[in-house]
Amino acid sequence: MKRRSFLALSAALVLAACGGVKDYADQGPGNMQLKLSSVDGGFMTSRNVFVDVWTGPKGPDMEYLGTRKFSESGDVIGLPTGRPLHLALAFEEAGWLGGNSGTNTIEIPMASIRPGQMWRITVAYDDIGFDWDLDRVR
């Protein structure tokens, strides 16, 4: 079961890298803040962070809802309520002029979000690499 979930998420990330993903469309009122903190690229490096949204019980029947790129100004998205969620954070770092590049991904399983709740994912980058934090705001 875990292997199928991993394969489904991996397939989504491959699609994202190839441009075959769909944009995430809000599924209700805003209840998840996406916040970047210190993720700017260097002189010869660019960095991006994406969140893939899946719903349903973990396994091969999970439904892919789309992908949203974190913006520097922050963003609020509306995740579905009353259903289990699975978020995948993709951290992308690319060197200019053919330099090193790579993507790291983590999966964040979440219980159902209840109406009225607000959550925040904060992503930062330091000399060790990407770091993230998930907090319930209310």
What average pLDDT does range 33-57 have in this prediction?
A: 82
Banded pLDDT at 39 (limits 50, 70, 90): low
Q: Against a cut of 0.85, is the pTM above it?
A: no
Reduce the DSSP state of residue 79 to 3 states and report it. Answer: coil
Q: Is the pLDDT of residue 132 over 60?
A: yes
End-to-end CA distance of the chain: 33
Q: Cα separations (Å) of 128 from 26, 29, 35, 101, 119?
A: 33, 35, 19, 16, 26
The whole-number average pLDDT for the span 68-81 is 92
Phi, psi of 13 (to 5 degrees): -70, -35
Domain 2-136 in this protein, CATH class: mainly beta
pLDDT at 3: 44
pLDDT at 125: 81
